[in-house]
Amino acid sequence: GENVEQHPSTLSVQEGDSAVIKCTYSDSASNYFPWYKQELGKGPQLIIDIRSNVGEKKDQRIAVTLNKTAKHFSLHITETQPEDSAVYFCAASIPGGGADGLTFGKGTHLIIQP
């Protein structure tokens, strides 16, 4: 089955600096890659996603890049703010078999230092 690896597990950056989180996936048939932000006591919330036919997508301070050949994708947050502090999860679609769920990475705890 699909396996998603996510690094780093914890990332501390100064407010205003950029943060980068990286993920790799194992199944080349995966075709959808969302990123979720989870705050304490809440469910995950989608912040950006990318399909396999696109190499890069940007939404204001957030961007995602996808390298299908290398099977890795990354989240970039620029001009970080205190409210960006949370746990971020990457995910990949589970291909085949009629399943339509997502396989998640283990998460990155992003800490924005004031």
With CB under 8 A as the contact rule, the residue among 20, 22, 27, 31 that binds another protein is: 31
With CB under 8 A as the contact rule, the residue among 43, 69, 70, 114 that binds another protein is: 43
With CB under 8 A as the contact rule, the residue among 25, 35, 73, 89 that binds another protein is: 89
Residue 110 engages another protein in binding (rule: CB under 8 A): no
Distance, CA of 94 to chain centre: 16
Sign of CA dihedral 38, 72, 50, 20: positive
Residue 44 engages another protein in binding (rule: CB under 8 A): yes
Cα angle 99, 21, 90; round to 5:
15
